[in-house]
Structure 1
C-alpha cells in the first residue's frame, strides 16, 4: 500500500528493511543420476563376477582331454587272469597248486571206513608247499568250496580222515620248504555247479581262489 512507504523507498516510522531471504535452489535430476550410476556399477560388477565364476567352473583342458580326446576310443584294460587247475597261488606261508578234481562219488573208503555222501562227494587234489620261515599247520577245515551261486561248503573232514588214505589234509604240520600232496573232500548236492575252491593257510587268512571246471 502506497501510504506505508515513502517515495525514497525508506519505510515510514523508522522500521528497518527486512533481511533478504535465502533461497535454496535444488538441481532437478541429481538424485536420479546418482541412482542410475550406482545401478550401472552394480550391474557391471555382477556381469564381471558371473564371467569369473563361469571360467572358474571349467577345468583347463590338458593334453589328454578335450573334444579330440573324448572322441578317441578308450582302450579296455585286460582283466586279470583267474587262477585255475595247474596254477600256483599263495596265501600266507602256503603255496597251493590244484592238480585235478573228481566229482559224483557217492561214497569213499572201504569196509568199516566207508563214508556215504549226503549228496555227492567232490575231491579236490592239490599240492601244498610251505614257503614261509616257520612250520605251518594245514587243515582242510580252513578250506571252502564255492558254487555258481556263491554259496560256501565246508570240507568233510571226518569222511576224509577215515575214507581217504592220502588225504593229508587233517591237521598236517608242514615245515618250511616241504610240500605235501593232499585231497580236500566236500559233500555237496547232486546238481551242484562248481565255481571255485578258496584256499587258506589258516582260518584267519584272507585266502586265495582257484577256479574249478
Structure 2
C-alpha cells in the first residue's frame, strides 16, 4: 500500500473519532449527571462518586494516593446481542481544568447479553481537584461516552 494511502486512512479515522465527540452544533456530547450512556453495545450508569479518600483496598490489594482518590461507582450492562468486553483501564476522569486522569484500577471483563455488574474505579488526583466528567469507553479505540459528575 502506498505511504500516502496509509496517511490518508489515519487522517480519515482521526477526523471520524474527533467528530464523534461533538453534536451537529459543535457542542461536546456530554450526558447529564445520573444519565445512562452507551458505547459499542455497553450501557454505563454512574451510581455514585466520592472524593477525599487517601487509601483504598480491593480485596488483598492496597493503594495509597499521592493526592486523593476520586472513586466512581457505576453499573455496566451489555445491551448488545453478543458478548461484549470492556477494560477498567480505558475509563477516564476529566477535571475542571480539562486535565485527564486514568484509573489506578485495571482489569478486563466480558459480559454476555443482558448481564450487568457493578464496578468501582479510583482515580488518583491532586488534592483539591474538581472532577467534572467521566469518559466511559468499551475499549482503547472507542470514542467513549461522556457523563457529567456535577
TM-score bracket, shorter-length normalisation: 0.7 to 0.9
The 3 A distance-change label for structure 1 pair 111 and 134 is: closer
- Structure 1 stretches of at least 4 aligned residues deviating more than 4 Å after TM superposition: 79-82
Select the residue among 89, 97, 114 that pairs with 2:62.
Answer: 114
Tell me the SS of whatever aligns to 2:98.
coil
Whole-angstrom CA distance in 2 between matches of 1:143 and 1:111: 21
Match of 1:197 in 2: 134
* Cα-Cα RMSD: 2.3
More helix by share: 1
More strand by share: 2
Higher relative contact order structure (alpha carbons within 8 Å, sequence separation ≥ 6): 2
Match of 2:22 in 1: none
State the aligned residue count: 125
Q: Give CA-to-partner distance per residue, 1:38-61, whole Å, 9 cap, x none.
A: xxxxxxxxxxxxxxxxxxxxxxxx
Select the residue among 175, 197, 204 that pairs with 2:112.
Answer: 175
Question: How far has the Cα of 1:133 moved from its partner?
Answer: 1.9
Match of 1:134 in 2: 82
Higher Rg of the two aligned structures:
1
Single out whichever of 200-209 and 112-121 deviates more from structure 2: 112-121
Match of 1:20 in 2: none
Question: How far has the Cα of 1:109 moved from its partner?
Answer: 1.7
Whole-angstrom CA distance in 1 between matches of 2:139 and 2:59: 33
Question: How far has the Cα of 1:114 moved from its partner?
Answer: 2.3
Q: Give CA-to-partner distance per residue, 1:158-202, whole Å, 9 cap, x none.
A: 6xxxxxxxxxxx211111111111111111110211110001111
Q: Is the 8 A contact 2:29 2:146 kept in 1?
A: no
Tell me the SS of whatever aligns to 2:122.
strand
Whole-angstrom CA distance in 2 between matches of 1:129 and 1:83: 17
Whole-angstrom CA distance in 2 between matches of 1:81 and 1:201: 17
Q: Is the 8 A contact 1:108 1:115 kept in 2?
A: yes
For structure 2, the residue ranges without an aligned partner over 5 or more in a row are 1-24
Select the residue among 198, 202, 206 that pairs with 2:143.
Answer: 206
The 3 A distance-change label for structure 1 pair 137 and 112 is: closer
Q: Is the 8 A contact 1:126 1:182 kept in 2?
A: yes
Whole-angstrom CA distance in 2 between matches of 1:185 and 1:103: 9
